Structures are given as structure tokens and as C-alpha cells.
Amino acid sequence: MSWHPQYRSSKFRHVYGKAASKDKCYDCVPITHNINDNHFCAVNPSFIAVVTECVGGGAFLVIPIKQTGKLDPHYPKVCGHKGNVLDIKWNPFNDFVIASCSEDATVKIWDIPNQLLKRNITTPKKELLGHARRVGLIEWHPTADNILFSSGYDYKIMIWNLGVMDAVISNPVKILDAHKDVVLSMSFNTDGSLLATACRDRKIRVIDPRAGRVLQEGSYKSHRVNKVSFLGNMKMLFSTGTSRWNNRQIALWDQNDLSVPLLEEDLDGSSGLLFPVYDSDTHMLYVVGKGDGNIRYYEISPEKPYLNYLMEYHSHLPQKGIGMMPKRGLDVAACEIFRFYKLIPTKSLIEPISMIVPRRSESYQADIYPLTAAAQPALTAEEWLTGINKGPLLVSLRPGSEAVKSLPQFPDQEPLTEATDLSQQQEEQGRISAEDKQKPREIERGRKRLKVEESLPENQQTCLSNGFDVFQCPPPKTESELLQMYYRQQEEIRRLRELVIQRDIQIKQLSLELRNLCTDTDD
């Protein structure tokens, strides 16, 4: 008989939610009262966008992320729709482009200026006309540039290529006509090769979006699905819905077999919707309740029991919608692994909630921040449409490594190779210095590596830090650029300090070797 421990070891076992102080919230925000089951909020490291109440059409607000406190009642809006705005999504590869869909059956793409809005924005960059009825959902492709999916109440999902020059696009590149009712939820796997949908006909479908073919379809009598989400590349789906007795329910599915769920669990008897949010970097799953103030979070494992409950964040203030900050906008110095923006219409308030791993050390915690998706597309729209699949480009969240994001833009890969080689040499030197403390026999090998390092060109030793040339960089013009420069300089200081410590250790080892040699001579 095998013994299963009651508690499992996990570095996220003690994650807790921390609400921001009042001065870090966004107050006096006229949040929409629309009853549609969407997030109504979209966030990136530069802006927070929220659907708002508007007379004679639909509108949403775009607020700079650092502009907390009370909002001016006459703050400009983005208001080009003729009907209520139902969904908004930021472009994952451009912090200044946002898409919106509305009851007026259109999808619009907006350019947001890189400064405080002075007047209402009424003219979109692009307008997508194709749906016969209102458009309820939009999703950007996770790895391909300029690919947008929209789903309407005409039961169709349309795929748009925004890379064309036309301001008005009326012909989508593909129409998915596999549903017999309204699509309630859409989710991509990591490389965007598969699309999962939840439909009002209670069925979950896994679709090949380019071929338009339904690969898997399933429904379960005791689980009426509302929202569905791919769990990264774990080949599993997670859905939220209601049971036969109208209890709120969660279920886990094998993406290759939707006949019976791997796991099914009732949560409570509340009536509000449950939003699933999956973080593929930490394998943590958050379940956010609409109409209550709870956020449950779990850790996903590839083997049974699959779903491991961690904890629950409680608040007496109910949330109408929720926004999620991309990983590149988190405060890694505070060990923040996720951040929600909670819409509280009863108080006209947007409250940030940080999910934090308690750590005593103030240094960068690499074990809770694996490489994450960068703000760059891995594919062009044409490449994806021709059948190419590629996972997201990855970047480190370590302060000072932001420069890595811009390297893949250059066609010449030689600087990237040189920077990579240099960083590998630095890591090897760090490992050798730690080993030399315990193994005096390896002094000679450390001395040889020191000679190799000294033989590098002088400009590589002094200028390059994580592939970043500190002398050829133009002076920072904005606060964001200044902050990035500060992080890079801090990283350079840390690297030089480690180099000095390594040299001191080698000096002590050589002096010890010399003393031993003198002692042997005297004997």
C-alpha cells in the first residue's frame, strides 16, 4: 500500500494576495454596468483600459498605469463605437495598440498616444466589418503578429490579418463556422496552433483554426460549461461552469479525449461566473469569482491528483471584472508572481491585487521567475497562415535583462552570439569561484580561465553587460527608459562586484599556495 503525504512540497504553497493601498488604486472610475460575462478590463505595463458607461454609444477609458488616485470626471475616452463595448484586449506585442468589439457588430483597432490623453479618441486605426450581429469576444494570437480572432452572436469565429494597409477590412482570412450557438469563451494553447472554445450549447471544442476542423468535441451532462482555458502545453483543458444542481463547478479535461473529465469538483452555491486564469510559467491556476470577492488558486501537476489547492484570497468587495498584468510588468523585487486589477463598480474603484511569494531575501529569485514570453512576435501573420508553428520568444525577468527583448529584431545575429558567449563565460567563472573555495586542487584551472577572460578584447570586458553596450546607448528620454537604464547599471555593478570578489578569492588562493611553497622550501 503506497503512502501519500498529506502535504506536498511546493515553493508556491504560501502564496498570498495583497491588496494595494488606497493611494495605489484608481478611484472615481465609471465602470460599466453591462451584464455581459467578460473581464471589461485589459492591462499592460503602460496602460490600464476599462469599459465605462457612456451615453449614446460605447466607450472605454485608457489610463496610464502610474496615474493612480482619483480620476478626472472629464477624462477623455475612446468612444468610436455606436453600441456598448463588450470586450477589449491589448496587442501582446505593442503596448500602444488595443482592440475593442461592440454591440454594433464591429471590431476596431486603436492607436493610443504615448502621452496623457488630451481629447476623446473617435477615429480608429482599423475597422473590421464582417459579423452580422454583435461581437462578444476578441483574442490576439499569442505568437503571430497582427492576427486577431473575433467571435460574434452570429455563431461565427473570424480570423483577421491586420497587416494589410486598408483602414477598413471587410474580408477575414478565415471563418470558423463550427458552432451552433453563441461562443462563450476562447483560449489558445502556447504556440497558438489549437483553439479551445466553450459554447452555449454546453460543448467544449478543440479546433485547428487554420484548417477550420474540429479535432475534439465533448459535453458532459453534469457540467454546463461557461469558460474554458488551455493549460499551456500540458495537453489539458480547464473549464468552469455549473453542475446539474446549479452549483459552481470546475472540471479538468484531457485535450485529446473530451468524453469524460479527468476531474470534476463543486465549489459553492453562488450564482456568479468563474473566470479561469492560468500562469504557464509557475503552473498556477487562478479561479476568479464574478459577483464575489474570492480568488482561489491551485497548482497544476501533469499526474494525479492534477489539481492541488493552495489557498484563497478573500475580500468583502465583489468584483464585476478583472484585468491581468503581463509578467513583464510585475515587481520582481517584491517577489510578485501575478497581479490582478479588480473592478469594483459599487465604489467606482479599480483595486490592484498582488500575488506574492513570501521570501526573506531581497535579491532576484530566479526559481520563481522562469523565462517568460517576450513582447515580440515569434512569427509574422503570413508565416502562421501558411502553417508554421512556433512557441513564444522567451525573456528573463531579471532586472537589467530588458535589452534582450530588442536583440531578435536585428537580422545580423553576431552581436547576440557574442553576448551569449560572454554571459556563458561569466556564469562559468561564477561556478568556478564557488568551487575553488572547497577544492584548492583546481587553482590551476581557475588561473587558466582567468587568462582566457583577460585575453578578450578590452571593449567586451568594459562595455557589454548582458549584451548591452552602455557607452553607445542614447541618453534616456522618458521615465521608463531612465528606469531601464538604472536596472542595467545595477546589473553591471553586480557583475563587476562578483568579478572583484572572484579576483580576491584567487589572490588569497595564490598567496596560500605561495606560503605553502615557502614552508616546503624551509623544511
Instruction: Please give the average pLDDT of every successive group of 10 residues along the chain, which has 523 residues.
Output: 54 92 94 89 95 84 94 91 94 95 95 87 94 95 96 95 92 93 95 94 94 90 92 92 91 92 90 92 94 92 89 91 94 94 94 94 87 92 93 89 40 34 44 41 47 43 41 61 74 81 84 79 65
CB 23 within 8 A of CB 69: yes
State the DSSP string of 222-238.
Answer: TBEEEEEEE-TTSSEEE
Take residue 131 and report the three cell numbers written for it: 459579423
Paired with 130 in beta bridges are none
Bridge-based pairing of strands 78-81 and 85-90 is unpaired
- Sheet-wide strand order for 284-289: 274-279, 284-289, 295-300, 307-313
CATH assignment of 16-395, among 2.60.40.10, 2.102.10.10, 3.30.230.10, 2.130.10.10: 2.130.10.10
CA angle 88, 112, 73 (to 5 degrees): 80
SS3 287: strand
Query: In Å, how far from its chain's centre is CA 129?
Result: 29
Cβ atoms of residues 319 and 290 within 8 Å:
yes
Tell me, what amino acid is at 101?
Answer: C
Q: Which residues pair with residue 229 across a beta bridge?
A: 238
**Do 127 and 133 contact (CB within 8 A), yes or no?**
no
Residue of 355, 226, 376 lying closest to 281 (CA atoms): 355
Q: Give the other-Cβ count within 10 Å of 150's Cβ.
A: 25
What nine digits make up the cell of 395?
525573456
pLDDT at 502: 82
How far is it, in rounded angstroms, from Cα 422 to Cα 467? 8
**Predicted local confidence at residue 480, as pLDDT:** 66
Is residue 359 within 8 Å of residue 11, measured between CB atoms?
no
Determine how β-strand 26-27 pairs with β-strand 69-70. parallel
CA 101 to chain centre: 22
Cα angle 411-414-419, degrees, rounded to a multiple of 5: 120
Find out whether 86 and 103 touch, Cβ atoms under 8 Å: yes
C-alpha cell at 80: 468610436
**What pLDDT, on the 0 to 100 scale, is given for residue 8?**
66
Q: Which residues pair with 196 in a beta bridge?
A: 187, 206
Q: Which residues pair with 275 in a beta bridge?
A: 288
